[in-house]
Structure 1
Amino acid sequence: MKKVKGGKTIGEKLKCSPVKCEVASVILWSRDLKKSVDLYSKLLGLPIEEKDNFRTLHIFRLSNGLEIMIDSNGMNKIPVPQSASPLFFMPADDIDKAADYVHDLGFEIIYGGIHRNHAVSFFNMRDEDFNVITICQKHK
């Protein structure tokens, strides 16, 4: 096992961190919570649950345990960026159908459209608040 500073292995180093080695939630900023919740409900194929609405925040709970939080608290004072890196990626079985679907929902496909190679096909999309998400199809 690889040693790091102090003679500990990488695994031992992680055990010493006060930050847990997991991602519990992803936060997407929104200037219009109702509109964003509706949009992401359709993208994720999840119902809008009133119990997951907390005035300026709505939580979508994914089957794998991850939460996607749509947060509008104070966003009306923050300018929309002109570009951004992807926040995360979501898998798709058919990249062309996925691209058509997100386009029809109102997302903008950015950064050159669909990129294809022998291992994956992917595209980056953004919502009106410039939350960027990558959609990716792995090829077998």
Structure 2
Amino acid sequence: MKKFILTLLATVATVSVAYVAPKQESDGGTKDEEKKEMSMQDIVIRDLMSPVRRGQARSGGATVDVYYVPGSGLEFYFNPDYLLGTVTIDVTDASGASIATRSCNTDTEPSVCLPVVLTTDNSYSIRIVGPDYEGVGTIL
């Protein structure tokens, strides 16, 4: 009977300590200290320099559509109604440090994906520059 009671008390004490101790993550930090990744988001790009139109417009859409997709990154879709040619995409964080840069020819690449992870504890800027186009956007 004593063995049973001692075993029961030891089990209760072990379980109690397990519930009171903070949950540790694999990197040694607690769950509260983790940076949270942003959820899917539509990002508005404001045209600073108007692009050249290709003939009559087929749609009234934006020049560039940008979406943040967690696990994938930033997805850029270039409107085929505009002649943008080769553009450079630059993504910077709040400190002004570039976190991703890519050049692409929008005539042959109508969509581009930049594999980046954006967190909720930072803000980001996007700048798209070409010979006849410039657009900017902010991700908060």
TM-score (norm 2): 0.22
| Structure with the bigger percentage of helix | 1
Q: Which structure has the larger Rg over C-alpha atoms? A: 2
